[in-house]
Amino acid sequence: MALKFKVIRECDYMKFVLFGAGLLGKSYYKLLKDKYDIVCFADNNPSKHGTKLLDLIIINPAEIINKNLNVIITSSYYLEIAQQFYAMGIREFYIPNKYGIAELSRIDLNEYGEIKEIPNKVCIIGHYNAGALSKALISYNPYNDMEVVLVKDSKKDSEYFYHYLSSSLVITQGSEHCGNKKSIELWHGFTIKTLYFMSHEKSERSLSISKNEIFNNKTAVCSMSHLYSVFMGYCLRLDFEKFVITGYPRNDMIFKSDGKAALEKLVGPIKQRKILFYAPTYRESLYTNNGNSAAFISDMTGFDEKIFNDFLSENNILFLYKKHTVQLSRKMFNDSNNIIEVTDDMLHANDMDLYEILNGVDGLVSDYSSIIIDFLLTDKPIILTPLDLEEYSSTRGLMMEPYDAWMPGEIALDYNQFQQAVSDSLFGEDKFKKDRERLKRITHKYADGNSSERVLALARELLELDK
């Protein structure tokens, strides 16, 4: 009879403390408690010390070492906490791999010896490749005397925290907390819809105070134009002096990449003579639910996928589409020779950013996404499909209102209108060229492909490297 041996993991003997006794800590405790021996919480808020959360005592962080506890960071302040740990002499800790999965990554900073801030080092916190602002900063860095490193938010390993700790300035695009380090916030793009204090959504407004605190702690916030600063200033209640107009690094790719070659690397040889790209904003996500979830082209009155496919084939059009990164999984179309979905996995596999393909398409279809404002730099047609405009405006809210007064393109609300708009935009007279130019002038101070250089020049100025 074969003997069965139980595999004993190191963590079976370890006792853990969750650092962060807030909503995120509560959520992670419920996720991790059956797999790890969690004995208490720790928090930097003195008023919580000695109280309980989920029947576990909340301790002062100073007690962690004496109690010989292993720490799991369960707070959005993870970068600041890592810096705090290092000052306390804690070189090893854990961080959840991904929300919803009970797996931890072990961070061990011992291998780097003594970590000190390097005066000319800049750390960029990168995110997904669907319009990330970070890749361009690496690709178009003209300064040889400044060390610029990119770490990915999706891979929070030891190297990630080492580069953060050893940098003198951090560039973020996801409003990460950066403690007392000098920092530049890039954010996600020009806001057509409302954000935070201006939003109608309770879930969005509930984040307003914390986001205001984060942005106020940034050394500078990059802007695309005076209007951008006005909109974001109102949404976040920020002093306008916080903004520096540099333009957006990702838009440099529109000027400098070979979009057609990048597209063919992504989807294979393209035989069609015209390429249309559909990039709607999200309606249902893990974070919010705004507007009508049935508000995409495939939901249009009169839409029939066979008719649409035949139309694309007859007119020699390739229709590419990409769901928003935080959109819940939902199939919009069946892929065919004429319809291809561009996914985050495809972009990651090819180490490519979405904006590297934008100048390779002949037109854009969208609704409320900031990509509309960026695409103005291509001077190519834009088709608008705000199918749930009234509901979206009332549930989320728009900064650019009334919508039709701002948007420089044909608005299509049913399939017949959409098909006609595609024909007119790709093969007819360009009726909205002057409207696009006017909106471009008030949303983009710069249209030259040199925004990365301006952002890095700002970093140099903040680091006083030219003195």
Amino acid 239: pLDDT = 94
Give the pLDDT band of residue 2 (cuts 50, 70, 90): very low
Fold of 115-251+450-463: Rossmann fold (3.40.50)
Q: Provide the pLDDT for residue 155.
A: 84
The pLDDT of residue 348? 86
Predicted pLDDT of residue 4: 42
Q: For residue 25, is pLDDT > 80? A: yes
User: Which residues are 339's β-sheet partners?
Assistant: 319
100-120 pLDDT, tens digit per residue, is: 778 899 999 999 999 999 999
Say whether pLDDT at 12 is over 90: no
pLDDT at 5 > cutoff 50 = no
Share of the chain above pLDDT 70, in %: 92
* Predicted local distance difference test score (pLDDT) of residue 330: 63
Interval 364-391 mean pLDDT:
96
pLDDT of residue 293 exceeding 70, the answer is no
* Annotated domain spans of the chain: 12-108, 115-251+450-463, 252-443
More confident residue, 103 or 460: 460
What pLDDT, in 10s, does the model give residues 409-429?
Answer: 999 999 999 999 999 999 999
> What pLDDT is stored for residue 287 in this prediction?
43
Do 115-251+450-463 and 252-443 show the same overall fold? Answer: yes
Query: How confident is the model over 316-361, as pLDDT tens digits?
Result: 999 999 987 655 566 788 888 999 999 988 998 898 999 999 999 9
Report which of 245, 203, 240 is spatially closest to residue 222, judged by C-alpha positions: 245
**pLDDT digit string, tens, across residues 29-50:** 999 999 999 999 999 999 999 9
Indicate the class that CATH gives domain 12-108.
alpha beta
pLDDT of residue 294: 62
What is the pLDDT, as a whole number, of residue 98? Answer: 77
pLDDT in the model for residue 152: 86
159-179 pLDDT, tens digit per residue, is: 999 999 999 999 999 889 998
**pLDDT at 132 (0 to 100):** 64
At residue 6, does pLDDT exceed 50? Answer: no
* Average pLDDT along the chain: 91
Domain 252-443 has CATH 3.30.1490.20: no
pLDDT at 83 over 90: yes
Q: How confident is the model at residue 122 (pLDDT cuts 50, 70, 90)?
A: very high
pLDDT value, residue 455: 97
pLDDT at 8: 37
Question: Is residue 183 predicted with pLDDT exceeding 60?
Answer: yes
When pLDDT is cut at 50, 70 and 90, the band that residue 20 belongs to is very high
